[in-house]
Amino acid sequence: MKLRPILGYTAAGATLLVALLTPFLLMDSFSKGFIALGMHVDEVYTGGPKVRTIPMGAYSIDVHRPVYPHMLQSEKPFVQLDWQPVSALPQHISDAVDIDGDGQPDVRVSFDVPRDPKAPLHVDVDSLNPRYEAVQHAGKEKYSRLIVRVDDAILVRVPLGKP
């Protein structure tokens, strides 16, 4: 039966065509198709979407939506706060932040802003609302409790306490 060899050679020819079209068309199409699936990078890494900005004069604090890690991840739920731009920050920050937007401060965040961008950062968080956990001298050991400098912002993650 000659149909099978014809199909075989047709498929082989199609493969060659795929190879030729890949750099011009297919790779881009496949990538866009993947993007269209609507997936997102795990918020434990990204910190979740920004929901509010609190103006603080020369700088501002971006408040992100709380991140609830998936059930078996060994991270606690947390909320990320971004201080930016770093260039406008004073040498020492001690800000009372209203995270949930109810007009009452929820935490007081304190950290030094070193001039050297590579210098390690440490943060203390006093809890003014039991919904948020206090943090003492945290660095960047855990995704759910850290302070890091990313580009022109200083990110602080405050773990959520028990509901």
Residues in the site for other proteins, rule: CB under 8 A? 4-5, 7-9, 11-13, 15-16, 18-20, 22-23, 26-35, 37-47, 69-76, 140-144, 146, 148-151, 155, 162
75 vs 95, beta carbon nearer other proteins: 75
26 vs 56, beta carbon nearer other proteins: 26
Q: By C-alpha distance, which of 39, 45, 121 is closest to 80? A: 45
Q: By C-alpha distance, which of 87, 139, 78 is closest to 107? A: 78
Nearest distance in Å: CB 105, other proteins: 25
Angle among Cα 135, 138, 143 to the nearest 5 degrees reads 95
73 vs 94, beta carbon nearer other proteins: 73
Written as six digits, the tokens of 150 are: 């990313």
Nearest distance in Å: CB 153, other proteins: 10
Nearest distance in Å: CB 145, other proteins: 10
108 vs 122, beta carbon nearer other proteins: 122
Give the C-alpha separation, 122 to 112, whole Å: 7
Nearest distance in Å: CB 132, other proteins: 17
14 vs 58, beta carbon nearer other proteins: 14
DSSP, collapsed to helix, strand or coil, labels residue 59 as: strand
DSSP, collapsed to helix, strand or coil, labels residue 150 as: strand
- Ramachandran bin of 151, using left for φ above 0, alpha for ψ from -120 to 50, beta for the remaining angles: left
Nearest distance in Å: CB 45, other proteins: 4
- Alpha-carbon Rg for the chain, nearest whole angstrom, is 24
